[in-house]
Amino acid sequence: MVVSPRGDHQGQAIVRASWLYAAPEERERCPACESLRLSDLDLHEMWQAVNGRRTGFVEGCEDCGLVFVNPLPSDEAQATFYSPEGEWGRPRAADDPAPTAKASTRHGAAAWSRMFDAIRHLLPVTTPPAGVRVLDFGCGPGKLLDALQDCGWETFGIETAMERAFRRHRRLVAVPAEPTFDLIVASHVLEHLVNPLALLRQFASASKPGGYLLVSAPGFDALPLHREYKYVINGRAHLTAYTRACMDGLLARSGWQTVDHPGRNDSGAELRDARKLRVLARRASTSLPTPARPLEAARESLRLFYRHTAGRPPLQRLGFFRLSARLVETRRQIRRDIARIRYRLGLRARLLEIYRRCVGTRPAPHSRGTPRSRP
């Protein structure tokens, strides 16, 4: 049993009632910062049953603000999922057409370069000085690298699911441990990871002093606006979710100072754009403060989301997620038992029917041939 502060508006401490219900292979620590101060935020229906249970949780860390599904997949399951033979990699490896012409990236330059407006006077990304290097982690087909290379960048990529980007760009199998890059990009990568903090720290080691990092992920703050819950977190590919406060805090913990939130998720933005959280950060030489209550934004976002949608069952509205999960699993168990009994009864009825047919069609011994006359 883990005792953790719920961190609700009254600030009351409650017991995270794992004795009432625990998801199979549930973690007790935050996968990023290792904190034990976890709070249940929602139920999560797992994609596959484990030990007969399918109910897990969406949880939040009170220390770093990370929102994640619990249980999380193992490292082996993750490696398989993203390999070229895996569920994620297979369709992407197959969809690997020839690269587009260089000139086609010119049209897109204005769009992507707007991400760097806040640092244009420090790092002119479209007219960079000689010798600047960029790493795109999870570069996909390499469209951003194509555009940066056209502007004069030395381009490097990391991608396990497809080959296309490496017809033009240098491939790395891991993030270098020494300062190498002026710019690192991780576009829609962190939500796929179990431990985003470990990767952000690797990026810090690979960045030159004063280098920049651009990260993007589905925006948890904007959930009440776009209402696409499964886009933000779904337990299949998107395992972790981020508010601005959480992302800024994780960046600060790993040696990055937030400079800008390009394309802010405010109501004035285009909805498609509003779904995304983007953060531009600079490698910091000193330790940085982290937000005081980093999980509050996620909690508020969920509250507003459920106000606009079908709402929550009363138990969950009151914060009794473990009791609610126990009831869900009990109902599922009862339905499963009834289905099993019905199946067995149906099978028994069918066997009886087959038996009756066999016995009923068999000719009786006295009906064969001409009946004998009794003496």
Residues of this chain that bind Zn ion (CB under 5 A)? 30, 32-33, 35, 61, 63-64, 66
d(Cα 364, Cα 33) in Å, to the nearest integer?
80
- Contact between 3 and 13 under an 8 Å Cβ cutoff? The reply is yes
Strand partners, 60: 39, 67
Please identify, using beta-carbon distances, which residue of 59 and 159 lies nearer to Zn ion.
Answer: 59
d(Cα 156, Cα 149) in Å, to the nearest integer?
10
Please identify, using beta-carbon distances, which residue of 65 and 262 lies nearer to Zn ion.
Answer: 65
CB of 331 to Zn ion, least distance (A): 32
Please identify, using beta-carbon distances, which residue of 61 and 199 lies nearer to Zn ion.
Answer: 61
The tokens for 58 are 């969406």
Helix (H, G, I), strand (E, B) or coil at 325: helix
Please identify, using beta-carbon distances, which residue of 61 and 298 lies nearer to Zn ion.
Answer: 61
The tokens for 344 are 């067995």
Nearest residue to 323 (alpha-carbon basis) of 22, 103, 92, 79? 22
CB of 277 to Zn ion, least distance (A): 17
Angle CA 234–256–213, to nearest 5: 70
Please identify, using beta-carbon distances, which residue of 32 and 281 lies nearer to Zn ion.
Answer: 32
CB of 192 to Zn ion, least distance (A): 18
- Contact between 30 and 71 under an 8 Å Cβ cutoff? The reply is no
CB of 56 to Zn ion, least distance (A): 18
CB of 15 to Zn ion, least distance (A): 20
CB of 46 to Zn ion, least distance (A): 22
d(Cα 180, Cα 95) in Å, to the nearest integer?
31
The tokens for 45 are 């229906």
Please identify, using beta-carbon distances, which residue of 33 and 297 lies nearer to Zn ion.
Answer: 33
Please identify, using beta-carbon distances, which residue of 33 and 222 lies nearer to Zn ion.
Answer: 33
CB of 252 to Zn ion, least distance (A): 13
d(Cα 183, Cα 282) in Å, to the nearest integer?
9
- DSSP code at position 99: P
Please identify, using beta-carbon distances, which residue of 63 and 150 lies nearer to Zn ion.
Answer: 63
Helix (H, G, I), strand (E, B) or coil at 256: strand
Helix (H) or strand (E) holding 57: strand 53-61
Say how many C-beta atoms besides its own lie within 10 A of residue 373's C-beta.
5
Say how many C-beta atoms besides its own lie within 10 A of residue 314's C-beta.
9
